[in-house]
Each structure stands twice: as structure tokens, then as C-alpha cells.
Structure 1
Amino acid sequence: MEWKRINRRFERHPARTVIYSFALADFIGALLLWLPISHSKELSFIDALFTSTSAICVTGLTVANTALDFTKAGQFIILVLMQLGGLGVMTFSVFIALGIKQSLSFSSRLSLQESFLPHFTPEPRRLLLTIFVYTFTAEALIALGLLLCFLGQGLKIKNAFFQAVFHAVSAFCNAGFSTFKDGLIDFQKNYLVLMLITLAIFLGNVGFPIVYELLSLLKEKRRRLSLHFRLTVYTHIVLIVFGALAFLLFEKNGVLANFSWPLKIVTAVFHSVSARTAGFNSINIALFSEHSIYVFLILMVIGACPGSTGGGIKTTTLAVLSCTVWSRLRGFPQAVVFKRAIPVDQVGKAITLVFIYLLAIMVFHFFLTFTEPNVPFYKSKHEFLGALFEVVSALGTVGLSTGVTSQLNLWGKICIIMAMFIGRVGLLSLISFLSEVGHEPRPYKYPKERVMVG
């Protein structure tokens, strides 16, 4: 009887659909990439699964060179997986259901709302239409700009078109995959390519709730912006500026020493934006100083904005915790910002997410160091940071690496696959799913008693 009750809650839980859809798409993608038509060199199933997981989870970590080891068919499959992963497999399934005039279940509506909006919407069609129009319009414009750049580099029209579309989707979805042998390193002095990729990443990780609210404001001609909008945008901009200034400070006489000042600024902004979950780099990450590696780690943990194509704990989580601390220091009993009080349950949710996220980093990092005792990064100048960087990059669905990924053994690959998958479906969703399935909500409270803290 208890098992039947748990099973019913399992079937109703909205996170079930998200987890199942990503897992199924991941497995199908791995099978397709494993087919002989998809790869030009020998490819094991674990490497196909790693690549599929990295693409569907829009991470970008690779154990096989996308340009050299995969055929055009394989690269096209990766492109489709990135697009599915960026918007969410559930989003496409709901869009198809609405397109054929099917009614949505409450679970589907709830999953859609939790993925893209801070509040419930009675108009799922309008929300989905906004998401798809915004996504494909942004990708098309970025692809057009990249096409002109690649044609200027001497690429033939057919190849230039595919490269432009691939990189536009990869950048907007914050995936970090590239069909160039050395990624974007060959374009490290191409201002236009770097700026277009930066713009695509920004448009992808700013979050669909921001776009939806902007359009609603224009349509309804309202002036008041929501607290979610202001917290998201302000934190987003502050982090970009912080990352860019940090890279300029730490690398102006390092990896950026031979760059002109305009190029230093563009490169610093590019890596600041990319580090938040995109995973593109125009300079080998292993060449950065340890100070910059720490900055990368901070930005990767924070990640993108909620309701976007990126991962991490999200900008609003950082904002809520920062506001809570600042409000406490000013004597407020709860988090206050912009003359608005943040609900206690949301503060608790933010604290829970950060605690679980940091715990997951420690667990995966311990497992990776335990399974990879002979990998060269232990003897590199970054030593301990190499493994930590890899785990944070995977869990935050970023895709940057100091060169560790290609050195992973079987267990190391499995560890990173799990980190990428959990990072994409969302740690809090996964934990709430596991906890709520087996337990009914507690209708009672216990008496309070104080303890010493600090």
C-alpha cells in the first residue's frame, strides 16, 4: 500500500517529466552518435554517451574532437541535441501538443511554469510562442552575422553556412561546442566573431522570464518592473563587469600581454560572459593564472539567469542570499530589497540550493580525484584546481576545461556525465522530486528552541 502511494506521487510530480525527457533524449542521442555514419574515427559507447550528455545538457565538455572525430551527420545530431537541451525537451513536447490542439495536463503546465516563469501563467501558448520566436530570431540573426565573418575568412558558402548555424545555436544555448579543430582560438583576434558569440551567449542566458516581461510591458504599456526582473538584470550586469575587470587585472601582463587594449577588453568581456555557462574560450584555459582560474570558478558556480539555457545556482539565488545578509546587517528581520520583502520560503530555497550545490561539488570532486590518480593535471601548475575546475564546469553546464576531459578514464567519464546531467535537470528539482515522492507534506509544527550559531 505504501509503495502504491509513493508511485502515485511519483507519477504526479512535475520534475518527473523533466528528468525522464532529458534521460530519454540523452540515450537516443548516444545511440545515434554511436552509429558508424556519425563518427569518422572509432568511438566507444561511453564516449558517445558523454558527447550526447554534454550536448543535451548544453555543457560542451568533449572527450572526442567535434571537428575531427564526427562526420557532418554526427555534428548535425549534436546540433539538434543542443537545441533540444537549450530550450528543454519538455518545452518541445508541450509545443507539439499545443500545435495539434491537445489539452495540457496540470503537471505539464506546472513544469512549463517552473522552467520559464516566476509565476503561474494562464496562457501557455503565448509563453511558448514568445520562447520559440525569440530563440529562432536571435539564432538566425547571429548566424547571419557569423556567416558573413566566415565567408570573409575564405570558407566556402556551404561550409560557412553550417558553421554559422552550428555556432549560433551553440552560443545561444550556452553549449560551447565548436566544429573548428581548435574551437575559437583561431578567431582570438577577430573582434566581430568574438562580439557576436558574446551577444548570442548573453541573449541565451539572460533568461526567458526577462524577455517575456519586457514584451508584456510593451504590450500593456506598464512602467513598473517586477522584483525578479530588477534583481536578475542588475546581478547579471554586475557579474559581467566583475569578471571582465578581474581578467583585465590578472591577465593584462599575462595571456593578454600581446593584445591591444581594445582587444584585451573584448577578450575579457567575452570570457566573463562565457564563463557563466557557455564554455567558449579564445585562449587556452590552462594558460590563465591561478587568480583567473578562481574567478572562472566563482562565475561558473553562479551561472546564468533563471529560466535561461544556462546552469549554475543562478543569479537570483546569489542576489537573494546577498540581500538576506545585507538586510540582517541593517537590522531587518527578513530579506528586503527595492522596498520589497522577499518571502522566507524563497530565502530557504536559495540556502538549500547553495548548500546542496556545494555538497555536490565536493562529492563529485572527491570521486574524480579518487578515480583519476594518474591524470597529468595533478602535476600541472594548477594541481588541485584542475579536478575542481572540471567538476564545477560539468555541474554548472559550462564546458570550460584546463585539459582534463580528454584524459579521463571510464569512471572519470561516468562521474562527469552524472555531474552534467544533474546540473542540467537542476539539483533543487531533483532533490525536491526525491524527497516529495516518498513523503506527504507535514501538517504539524514543532516548538521552537534556540541554538548557538557562529
Structure 2
Amino acid sequence: MSSTPAPRPTRRLQAARLIGLAVVGVLGMIVTEAPRGHFGAASQVTLLGAIYAAALVLLALVFSLGALQGRRWAARGSLILLSVNVSAFLPALVHDFPVAGSVMLWSVVQVANEFFVDDTRAQRVRRHEQKAPTPASVWIQRYGPAARHILAVSLIANLSIVGFEIAASWVSDLTCLLLGLGVVALTGPFMLAVVRQQPRHLAWLALVLLGAPWSATLSAGLVALALYQVVVFGFVLARGPLFDDLVQSFLHRPALLLLSTFGSMAVTGALVLSFPASARGEPLSFLDALFTATSAACITGLAVLDTASTFSPFGQAVILILIQLGGLGIMVLSTFATILLGGRLALRSEQALEEILDIQSPGAAYELASFIVVATLALEALGAGILALRFSQHGMEPLDAIWYGMFHAVGAFCHAGFALWPDSLVSQQSDPVVLGVIMALVVVGSVGFSVLAALWLRARGEHRRFSLQTRVVLWMTLALTLVGTLLYALLEWNATLAGMTTPEKWMNALFQSITLRSGGFNTVDFATVEQATMAVMMVWMFIGAAPGGTGGGIKVTTLAVLAAALPALLYNQPRAVLMRRAIPNDIVYRAATIVTVAGFITVIAVVIMLATHNLPFSHVLFEVVSAVGTVGLSLGITEDLHAIGKWVLIALMFIGRVGPTSLALALGAQKTGRVTFPEGRLMVG
């Protein structure tokens, strides 16, 4: 280690990391469920636990003060605290593996970051802040890394208090209160500089006062502090180099970023859903929590537990957040992937957004991502408002109506089939307003950002020719919707649609046709559908939605390319032609590879499921296709699966969400080799 004192921003980050190690260790000691261990049961502080906490806090304070003063001996502080945490929590692994393992993993990651990442991170911060020397940017340069870390630790601490229901513990409350007050003192100058620069941001701080008024009670103060920290954390991240780093990471390692993003969301969501506060009764097992979190983050909708009766309002909120993050994540990342692969988006020829699509510039990428987020939230808010009004007209309490409207609007746009009714939307099958809003949100979310933006510009009066991407998506969506409606009505007119009026039959047939392509909701009992209908449904689920949208499947453009390639192969034409445009052969190969790999994965999963479960073949195939296509529909066997089946579906949902885009990126990044081989002839067919 160099004898030269570290720069002040690095020293502050080192001190913040030491405090974070102490806070996580103390809270981990409280929430660890080890009745027969040295930490005792959850919310209990044993004598050994108190000694450990006191020693940890004392060490953290001593070494953090030394770090701030640039003392050389302080550099050993993180290693010493790591040793203390690992030694204390290693015996607790036997009693409470998730909590003890999380504390140990956090400690190891923080120490690793300190020794391997800090120098390059500080250089990126300095390069980033040289662009805009404002008071806020100067603060970011000096205190940004430390503030981001301590804010993350403080938010994790507040989440732990709520999730593990330890608000009655004075140790945890005092820890979070002191940490929150320290955050206010640290970030106060930054927020004042931000408000002075842009007074409109004062509204975000006003929400803190409206959300949790300050009072004499400690709980209200902690809630207000937590809300303040959420707002400040967003500003600190937005003003820092994080987004620039993400853009550069996507440009250089797009598939890896895609995999790590959804993998991190699923694991983090599983940990939070396993909190006692997430369930109405006994806490979920980690496997069930991971299944639910993966289904929500990968916006699928398959569930091994009933959402309304199993999960508390806190757990439902976690599921909603995972759905929203998963929907926004796939829209942003897949849109960037389309551009990176050379796709001709509809907006590329639009002067109004030409600069936004130049993602070689991090600022332009930030504008593109912001545009997608704002458009998504606006559409969801509109749908949530209509649904909430309709639910209140049905006699639902105002707050319940708002929650139900928001939950189902976000779920519909993001194509996550989670519902707060046990029968999905069967109870709403005769309400044209509810079904109409859900169908509209599903369709809008399925077509992709590029198509939405092109339609928006056309609606504003800019009459320019749609790109091939937009035209293919619109025509394929229309064709699949109409054909699916006719087939479902024809096959189920006197089956699942029996007992409805003629308009209701057509409305529900249309709903199933739309939701089959990754929507995930149902208004009829799919357990009683005809075998022929089941086959059609699986085909529609396998096809899915459009690239850049929130739906899954192999994508409608993939099907269109293969359909165009078929006559080219039959008539020995050199290129496939689609809507009077020649399709490059590499795109045809990419489409064929995606379909082949998806089919191969489906076959393997079906074999494993049949070998480990005594279930009908049709039901297993339907479940597997639903998971691969991230649809979320089921014939009722999800709750009957044992551990192996759940792990298989978890893997399928993850592959179905990130697989097609990652595979396309991997194929698109391949370069033609210089080595050529002599041709060989084979008889096929």
C-alpha cells in the first residue's frame, strides 16, 4: 500500500464504509434469528451481542476518525472490521443463513471495493465533475462517493427495521436515527445548492413533509428521515458518474450488464420478500421468495402463492417495485440493444429526437432513458387513475381502489400477470372499462418504445414514413390479435365463454388474444380450456411481443423475418424480402438461432419437469412455455411444484427475460473470421 496519504474524497469514502460495516453488523446482530446461538432470537440483544455491537461501533469510530485525518494505520480498519463481522456471524450461519450470509457478503464486498475499485472510481468522479463546476458538482466531487455509500447503508437499515419488524428495539431505532441525522448534516449543503440552482426541486423535499410529518414520536421521525434520504439518494446518483458508467458498460459488455441487472434485482427482491413483514403469516421460504421475486423482476407473473392473501401490503409493494423496475429496465436496455445492433428505429429519422438516439454520448443516452421512464410512468398513471375510479364505483374503499388501480395498471403495462384477486381478472370479465384499460396498457407496453415514440410523433402532426421496424411491429401485432381473437372465440364459444352475452364473449376472446402474448392476466378459467385452444395459446405465448417492449417471447419481428425467409428458401432467392425491403442474411440467421435455442430450452425443461413430477404433459408444456415466454399464465399446477420444478421455472423465467436480447447481442457482436473452409454438401429433408 502506498505511503502517500489518500485524497480526501477517498478518505471520506473509507470512513463512510467503516461506519457502514458497523451499522450493518449491529442491525444484523439484532435481526438474526438464532435462539440457540450467541445472538439469540430476532429483536433480542444478548450480552454477547451487546459486547460485539459496542466493540464494533468503537472500532468503527476510531478507524473512521483516523481515516479522515489520513492516518496510515486507519487503512487496516476495514480488514479488522471484516474479521470481526465474519467471526461473529460465521456461527450464526447455521441458524439464519440468509441474514448471517448477507452480513458477511456485504463486509467482504465493501473491503474488496476499497482495495480494488476506489482509485479508478475517484478518477471517474473527477473527470465527470470537470464538465460542470457548480456548487452542487463541487460537493459531489468532495463528498459524493461517501454520501452514496452512507445513504445506501442508511436506507438498508431503515428497510431492515420495517422488514424484520424490529421497530420496538431501541438499539435499532437509535442506530437509524443517529445515522439519518448524520446523513442530513452531510447532505444538507448539497440539497441547498440544488434547490438554489433549480427551485422546482423544492417540491421533492416538500413531499417528505407531506409524507411523514415531524412529530414527537421516534417512528414518524424515522419515516421522514427515510423519505428525505430516498429523495437525496436520487439526486446524488443523478448528479454523479453512475449513469455514464452504466452506458459505457452497456456499450462494451451489454449482455453482462443485462444479466447482472435482472439477477441482482431477483436476489435482492428475494431477500426482502423473505422478511417477516412481507408475509401475512409465517415468513416465506427463500425458495418461494426467490421464485416470486424472479417472476416479478422478469415481469412474468407465475406465482406459487396467492399474492393477495399471502403477502402483506409491504410485500405487495415490494412486488410492485420489482415489476416496475423490471419493466423499465427491459425497455431501456432492449432499446439500447436495438440501437447497438444497428436497428433502424423509427425515431432515427426524426429531427426532434436525432440527438437522443446518439448513445455514443452519455448525455444523449440519459435523455433517451429519461424519455422512456417519463412516458412509461405517464401511461401507467393514466391507466391507474381510470381503474381506481372504476373500482371505487364498484364500492371499493378509496385507498383500496387507488392501490388496486396502481398495482394492476403497472402490472398490465409491464406485462406482469400478478393480480390482487385469487382468480386473476375473472371477477371483472363483464366490465368493459376494466378490461379495456388493461388491454390498452398491455398492447402499448408490448409494441416497444421506438414504436410508441413514432406513433406519438405522428399524432403530433409529423407525417413521416414509418420505419420498417414500426410497420412490421404494428402489422404483426394487429394480425396476431385478430387471428387470436377469432380462434379463441371459435374454439371456446360454448366452453369457457359459455354463459356470457355475445358482446362479452367477443370482448373476452379479444382479451385472451392480447394477454396471451406475455400479458399474463386471464378473465376465464384456463384449467377448463379445450385441447386445441391450449395449443393455440402456447403458440401465441411462444411468439410474445415486440423488441424494446415489456413483453417476452421470441418477438413478433423474429416471426416476421422467418416468415419472409421461408419463400426465399423455397424459391432459392438470395435475400429474404419483407415489405419490399431486403433483410440481411445475418438478421435471418439471428432470428433462426433465437427460435432454435428457445425451442431447445423448452424441450429440455419439459423433459426435466416430466421426469420429476407426475403431471399431465399438456399442463407441463403449457407451464414451461409460459415461463420461457415470460407470460405468467398457468393451468393451475404452479402451486403443486416441488423444489426442482420451482428451480426449473426460475431458470426459465430468467432465461426468457434476458435470453433473447443477450443472445441477439452476442450474435451481433461476432466478427467474421478470416479462416475459410471448403464447402461440403449434405442431403437434408
Q: Distance in 1 between matches of 2:465 and 2:494?
A: 45
Letter in 2 for 1:447: P
What is aligned with 2:621? 388
Q: Distance in 1 between matches of 2:389 and 2:335?
A: 41
User: 3-state SS of the aligned residue for 1:224?
Assistant: coil
Letter in 1 for 2:527: A
Native 8 Å contact 2:337 2:665 kept in 1: no
Q: Distance in 2 between matches of 1:421 and 1:451?
A: 37
How much does 1:14 deviate?
A: 1.2
What is aligned with 1:140? 381
What is aligned with 1:85? 326
Matched, 1:452 2:683: yes
How much does 1:326 deviate?
A: 2.7
Letter in 1 for 2:637: V
1:284 corresponds to which of 505, 520, 525: 525
Change over 3 Å in CA distance of 1:251–1:124 after alignment to 2: same
Native 8 Å contact 1:198 1:274 kept in 2: yes
Identity of aligned residues (%): 40
Matched, 1:397 2:630: yes
How much does 1:334 deviate?
A: 1.3
Which portions of structure 1, spanning 4 or more consecutive aligned residues, are displaced by more than 6 angstroms? none
Q: Distance in 1 between matches of 2:593 and 2:277?
A: 45
> Which segment is superposed worse, 440-449 or 194-203?
440-449
Native 8 Å contact 1:188 1:282 kept in 2: yes
Native 8 Å contact 1:64 1:406 kept in 2: yes
Cα deviation code 1:155-207 (max 9, x no counterpart): 10001100100000000000010112322111111121111111111111011
Letter in 1 for 2:411: S
Q: Distance in 1 between matches of 2:392 and 2:278?
A: 26
2:566 corresponds to which of 312, 315, 325: 325
Q: Distance in 1 between matches of 2:331 and 2:439?
A: 27
What is aligned with 1:199? 440
Rg larger in 1 or in 2? Answer: 2
What is aligned with 1:6? none
User: 3-state SS of the aligned residue for 1:128?
Assistant: helix
Native 8 Å contact 1:184 1:281 kept in 2: yes
What is aligned with 1:32? 272
User: 3-state SS of the aligned residue for 2:415?
Assistant: coil
Cα deviation code 1:350-407 (max 9, x no counterpart): 000010010010011111111213xxxx3xxxx3110000000001000000001000
What is aligned with 2:304? 63
1:353 corresponds to which of 576, 594, 600: 594
User: 3-state SS of the aligned residue for 1:333?
Assistant: coil
What is aligned with 1:419? 652
Matched, 1:370 2:601: no
Change over 3 Å in CA distance of 1:11–1:131 after alignment to 2: closer
Q: Distance in 2 between matches of 1:428 and 1:135?
A: 20
Change over 3 Å in CA distance of 1:328–1:90 after alignment to 2: closer
Q: TM-score, normalised by structure 2?
A: 0.58
Change over 3 Å in CA distance of 1:206–1:154 after alignment to 2: same
Native 8 Å contact 1:303 1:396 kept in 2: yes
How much does 1:74 deviate?
A: 0.3
Q: What are structure 2's unaligned runs of at least 5 residues?
A: 1-248, 349-356, 359-363
Native 8 Å contact 2:518 2:553 kept in 1: yes
How much does 1:427 deviate?
A: 3.6
> Which segment is superposed worse, 177-186 or 69-78?
177-186
Question: Where in structure 2 are the equivalents of 1:87-126 lying within 5 Å?
Answer: 87-88=328-329, 91=332, 111=337, 113-114=339-340, 118=344, 121-122=357-358, 123-126=364-367
Native 8 Å contact 1:18 1:90 kept in 2: no
User: 3-state SS of the aligned residue for 1:426?
Assistant: helix
What is aligned with 2:223? none
Q: What are structure 1's unaligned runs of at least 5 residues?
A: 1-8, 95-107
Q: TM-score, normalised by structure 1?
A: 0.87
Native 8 Å contact 2:296 2:326 kept in 1: yes
2:515 corresponds to which of 245, 263, 274: 274
Native 8 Å contact 1:311 1:398 kept in 2: yes
Q: Distance in 2 between matches of 1:27 and 1:364?
A: 22
Letter in 2 for 1:326: P
Change over 3 Å in CA distance of 1:228–1:385 after alignment to 2: same
How much does 1:426 deviate?
A: 2.1
> Which segment is superposed worse, 416-425 or 439-448?
439-448
What is aligned with 2:390? 149
What is aligned with 1:102? none
Letter in 2 for 1:17: L
Q: Distance in 2 between matches of 1:351 and 1:208?
A: 24
How much does 1:124 deviate?
A: 2.1
Question: Where in structure 2 are the equivalents of 1:175-214 lying within 5 Å?
Answer: 175-214=416-455
Cα deviation code 1:337-360 (max 9, x no counterpart): 222100000000000001001001
> Which segment is superposed worse, 210-219 or 309-318?
210-219
Change over 3 Å in CA distance of 1:318–1:413 after alignment to 2: same
Q: Distance in 2 between matches of 1:89 and 1:265?
A: 32
Task: Tell me which of the two structures has the higher relative contact order, counting C-alpha pairs closer than 8 angstroms and 6 or more residues apart.
Answer: 1
